[in-house]
């Protein structure tokens, strides 16, 4: 069972943190494709951890500080990471265009949902994964190292290492080797 943490997104410090992240994302997205050196300080200011990364425009996140990127991370165009919960991405991970990572969700109960509280749970993507274009990864999911997630998949549960998984909901269809 996934462990969700409840947060109040209207808390003053969270509102300020989101505003800071939005401004950094705007700066990042305004840079030219050849401005590699100018990207690094923005990555350093935005993310909880980053060594070597390249993120195509446009990129959007809620906080940035809850995103921990491994070495040689690549994200194609229009990546969205909602990081109210921590998002840990391993080394040499590649995202296709329009990949969406949602470490936050809302209660299924309409009365609880109306309170404005959010639920969040960490997402972990292991080393050497490839996440196909348009894939959506939901809160609390772990994807094992070396796995491939097919384009357009919706990942609602953990995926073991070294497999190809596709579909909605995402299911393992074969081993990578």
Tokens of 121: 């749970």
The whole domain housing 25 covers: 5-175
What distance in Å separates the CA atoms of residue 92 and residue 70, rounded to the nearest whole number? 7
Is pLDDT above 80 for 92?
yes
- Residue 143 burial class via C-beta count within 10 angstroms: exposed 0-12, middle 13-18, buried 19 and up: buried
The residue among 117, 126, 121 whose CA lies nearest residue 159 is 126
Residues 36, 77, 88, 106: which is the catalytic one?
106
Residue with tokens 């299911």: 171
Task: List pLDDT tens digits, range 14-56.
Answer: 999 999 999 999 999 999 988 989 999 999 999 999 999 999 9
Q: Going by DSSP bridges, is the β-strand pair 154-155/148-149 parallel, antiparallel, or unpaired?
A: unpaired
CATH of the domain at 39: 2.160.10.10
77 is catalytic: no
Catalogue the E-assigned strands of the chain. Answer: 5-7, 53-55, 59-61, 67-69, 73-75, 79-82, 87-89, 94-95, 100-102, 104-105, 118-120, 123-125, 130-131, 136-138, 142-143, 148-149, 154-155, 163-166, 171-175
pLDDT of residue 53: 96
pLDDT band at 97 (very low <50, low <70, confident <90, very high): very high
Tokens of 55: 């993120």
Q: What percent of the chain has pLDDT over 90?
A: 92
| Number of structural domains in the chain | 1
Determine contact, residues 75/95, Cβ cutoff 8 Å.
Answer: yes
What distance in Å separates the CA atoms of residue 121 and residue 86, rounded to the nearest whole number? 7
pLDDT of residue 1: 53
Question: Model-level pTM?
Answer: 0.95
Phi, psi for 169 (deg, rounded to 5)? -75, 155
What average pLDDT does range 147-160 have in this prediction?
98
pLDDT of residue 156: 97
Is pLDDT above 80 for 69?
yes
């Amino acid at each position: 069972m996934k462990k969700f943490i409840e947060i109040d997104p209207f808390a003053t410090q969270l509102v300020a943190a989101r505003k800071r992240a939005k401004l950094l994302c705007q700066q990042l997205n305004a840079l030219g494709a050849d401005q590699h050196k100018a990207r690094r300080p923005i990555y350093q200011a935005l993310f909880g951890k980053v060594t070597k990364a390249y993120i195509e425009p446009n990129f959007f996140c809620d906080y940035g500080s809850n995103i921990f990127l491994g070495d040689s991370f690549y994200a194609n165009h229009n990546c969205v990471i909602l990081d109210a919960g921590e998002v840990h991405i391993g080394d040499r991970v590649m995202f296709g265009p329009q990949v969406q990572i949602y470490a936050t969700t809302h209660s299924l109960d309409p009365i609880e949902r109306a309170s404005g509280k959010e639920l969040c749970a960490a997402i972990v993507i292991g080393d050497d994964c490839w996440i196909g274009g348009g894939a959506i990864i939901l809160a609390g999911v772990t994807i094992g190292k070396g796995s491939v997630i097919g384009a357009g998949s919706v990942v609602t549960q953990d995926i073991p290492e070294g497999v190809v998984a596709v579909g909605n909901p995402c299911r393992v269809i074969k081993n990578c080797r």
